[in-house]
């Protein structure tokens, strides 16, 4: 049995991968969950080779039975769950509202919003059984601080919905000693662009000239996945014991420009 156990969704790449590695270094046994078995296997191997503990959990976050099974498998392996990092998500299709199809809308909602719900829904019983813990939801500056991304209606709706879910659940879960917070990254060096489809940008782009470089604190360069992972690890830890229901923007000031 491990003293602390964390579930990280979307652990195969980007912020999820960085979070899994940081949490493992902090002493957590990690359940690395996602749909790309090869990427997850690499993360698990890296954690184990560094002396940590990890298990590969292949699941679709929008599938209830798979998520329930993955949470159960993690508890069977390590005995408990103390931290849940709801990171997995997609950009989906960005298009004019009258060009966006219901299928495209539903797909983004299913992964980003329903997937977040299922991640929390299936793990909260285990957090309660552990006597409490921490949930960190990875949202975005889009839909929470900025609203100028061309055609990203479905995406921003899910990101705003995630923060609303965090704030709603903060009070509900407090009596169980479960904290829940959100991190809202700006431009980060992840591969999320690979699941983005941008259509008819000229019809939705905002005609504004931005200053050179979107991220002031880094001289215009994107932040690193580790910049977000370090905040996630803090929120998961006892050092954040008095923080709940809070969105934290990790964007280097980018959202203040837009």
Tokens encoding 83: 């931290």
pLDDT above 90: percentage of residues in the chain: 77
- Confidence category of residue 30, pLDDT binned at 50, 70, 90: very high
- Range of 21's domain? 5-257
Is 155 labeled as catalytic in the residue annotation? Answer: yes
pLDDT above 70: percentage of residues in the chain: 87
**DSSP-assigned states of every residue in 203-228:** GT-----PPSSS-GGGTTPPBPHHHH
Kindly report, residue by residue over 37-77, the tens digit of the pLDDT: 999 999 999 999 999 999 999 999 999 999 999 999 999 99
Contact in structure between 213 and 154 (CB atoms under 8 Å) = no
Which pTM value belongs to this model?
A: 0.90
Contact in structure between 134 and 83 (CB atoms under 8 Å) = yes
Catalytic one of 28, 78, 117, 155: 155
- Confidence category of residue 255, pLDDT binned at 50, 70, 90: confident
Nearest to 232 by CA among 169, 192, 172, 185: 185
**What average pLDDT score do residues 177-188 get?**
94
Tokens encoding 216: 């002031």
The confidence score (pLDDT) of residue 177 equals: 98
Domains: count for the chain = 1
Eight-state DSSP code of residue 30 = E
Q: What is the 3-state secondary structure (H, E, C) of 41-90?
A: HHHHHHHHHCCCCEEEEECCCCCHHHHHHHHHHHHHHHCCCCEEEECCCC
Q: What is the CATH number of the domain that holds 199?
A: 3.40.50.720
CA atoms within 13 A on the CB side of 230: 6
As a whole number, the mean pLDDT across the chain is 91
CA atoms within 13 A on the CB side of 166: 28
pLDDT at 143 over 80: yes
**What average pLDDT score do residues 206-235 get?**
74
pLDDT at 1 over 70: no
List, in sequence order, every residue forming a beta bridge with 185; answer none if it has no partner. Answer: 250
Overall residue count recorded for the chain in this entry: 258
Nearest to 128 by CA among 199, 65, 71, 196: 71
- Confidence category of residue 218, pLDDT binned at 50, 70, 90: low
The confidence score (pLDDT) of residue 220 equals: 63
The confidence score (pLDDT) of residue 66 equals: 98
Nearest to 192 by CA among 7, 13, 8: 13
């Amino acid at each position: 049995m491990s003293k602390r156990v964390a579930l990280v969704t979307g652990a195969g790449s980007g912020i999820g991968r960085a979070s899994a590695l940081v949490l493992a270094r902090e002493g957590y046994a990690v359940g690395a969950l996602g749909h790309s078995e090869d990427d997850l296997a690499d993360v698990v191997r890296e954690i184990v080779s560094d002396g940590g503990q990890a298990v590969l959990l292949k699941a679709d976050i929008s599938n209830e039975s798979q998520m329930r099974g993955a949470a159960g498998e993690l508890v069977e392996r390590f005995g408990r769950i103390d931290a849940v990092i709801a990171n997995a998500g997609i950009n989906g299709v960005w298009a004019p509202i009258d060009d966006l199809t219901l299928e495209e809308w539903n797909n983004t909602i299913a992964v980003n919003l329903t997937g977040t719900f299922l991640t929390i829904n299936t793990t909260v019983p285990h957090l309660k059984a552990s006597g409490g813990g921490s949930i960190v939801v990875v949202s975005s500056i889009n839909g929470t601080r900025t609203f100028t991304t061309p055609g990203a209606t479905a995406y921003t709706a899910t990101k705003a919905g995630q923060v609303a879910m965090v704030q709603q659940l903060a009070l509900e879960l407090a009596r169980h000693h479960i904290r829940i917070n959100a991190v809202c990254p700006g431009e980060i060096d992840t591969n999320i662009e690979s699941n983005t489809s941008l259509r008819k940008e000229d019809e939705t782009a905002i005609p504004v000239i931005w200053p050179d470089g979107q991220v002031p604190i880094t001289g215009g360069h994107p932040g690193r996945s580790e910049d977000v992972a370090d905040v996630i690890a803090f929120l998961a830890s006892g050092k954040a014991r008095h923080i709940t229901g809070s969105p934290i923007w990790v964007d280097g000031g980018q959202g203040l420009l837009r």
